[in-house]
Structure 1
Amino acid sequence: MEAIASDAFRRLPDGFRTLCEGVVIRVEDFPTADVVREMKLGSEFDILGLFQGVGLPFRSESAPMQMPNMVWLYRRPILDYWAEHEEALGTIITHVLVHEIGHHFGLSDEDMEAIEASVT
């Protein structure tokens, strides 16, 4: 899954990737119990990925130093989704990655769909 996500990231438009500098992409089996509780999820399978951090539109040079922005891809929920749908695993991972990175930029769903279409 890490290799597929890395390949999907490399295929993103150059300008998009440049603005992602410093964003850390991590793959974990499941979201933490804190994430499940804070997002009021029914189960740990109810989320495929998550952006945590301060998106570009909300950053300030005067703000104190913060943790790096993170994109989490949740392996087991993604694999379960893949098993129940006819999409290729790489397509699903790319979709989740673009969607979560889109939160970093404050993009609309339409913007994210256009970026995703340029990758596939």
Structure 2
Amino acid sequence: MAAQDFSGALPDARDIERMAEIALSRIPPPFADHLANVVLRVEELADAETLAAVGLTHPMQLSGVYHGRPIGEKSAWDVASYPDQIRLYRKPILAEWHDTGVDLQRLVTHIVVHEVGHHFGLSDDDMHALEDSSGAGE
């Protein structure tokens, strides 16, 4: 298992949120300049509506999701809507951490960077480049 010390207790939502905030703080400019209004939420599991929207059937299959319109699809003429959100799902993250033994901060960073990529409408290749520049591979 990874080397984090949580004094025998599994990380709670606040622990995951702190790790996600660290990951967000490592996002380089110019991307970081456009994340101020993105809301970060940590929940235990995705709900049925979210799972259906991404084509999944079991909540343990989804560790994170971006809710909102990618920046490239937005217009000054858009009607105000809910803020864009990055949602992380604690139980699937902890299960993946346990199953893989990957450092938990690194895993959370990977998920956050992937969801930030969706915020910008990036391809998977672009997301890998952003993750590499965020220090997630360290």
TM-score higher than 0.5 here?
Answer: yes
The residue number in structure 2 matching 1:100 is 115
Greater helix content: 1
Which of 26, 35, 48 does residue 33 from structure 1 map onto? 48
Partner residue in 1 for 2:124: 109
Take 1:99 and 1:83, find their aligned partners in 2: how far apart are those partners? 20
* Identity between Structure 1 and Structure 2 (%): 36
User: Which runs of 5 or more structure 2 residues have no equivalent in the other structure?
Assistant: 1-15
* AA aligned opposite 1:98: V
1:10 pairs with 2:16? no
Residue 60 of structure 2 aligns to a residue in which SS? Answer: coil
Tell me which residue corresponds to 1:58: 73
- TM-score with structure 2 length normalisation? 0.82
Considering only aligned residues, what root-mean-square deviation do their CA atoms show, in Å?
Answer: 1.1
What runs of 5+ residues in structure 1 fail to find an aligned partner? none
Residue 65 of structure 2 aligns to a residue in which SS?
A: strand
Letter in 2 for 1:55: P
Residue 106 of structure 2 corresponds to: 91
1:65 and 1:39 map into 2 onto residues whose CA distance is: 24
Question: How far is 1:119 from its partner?
Answer: 1.9
Q: 1:24 aligns with which of 18, 27, 39?
A: 39
TM-score by length of 1: 0.94
Q: Please identify the structure whose Cα radius of gyration is greater.
A: 2
SS of structure 2 residue aligned to 1:71: strand
- Separation in 2, partners of 1:45, 1:57: 30
In structure 1, the partner of 2:97 is 82
Aligned length: 120
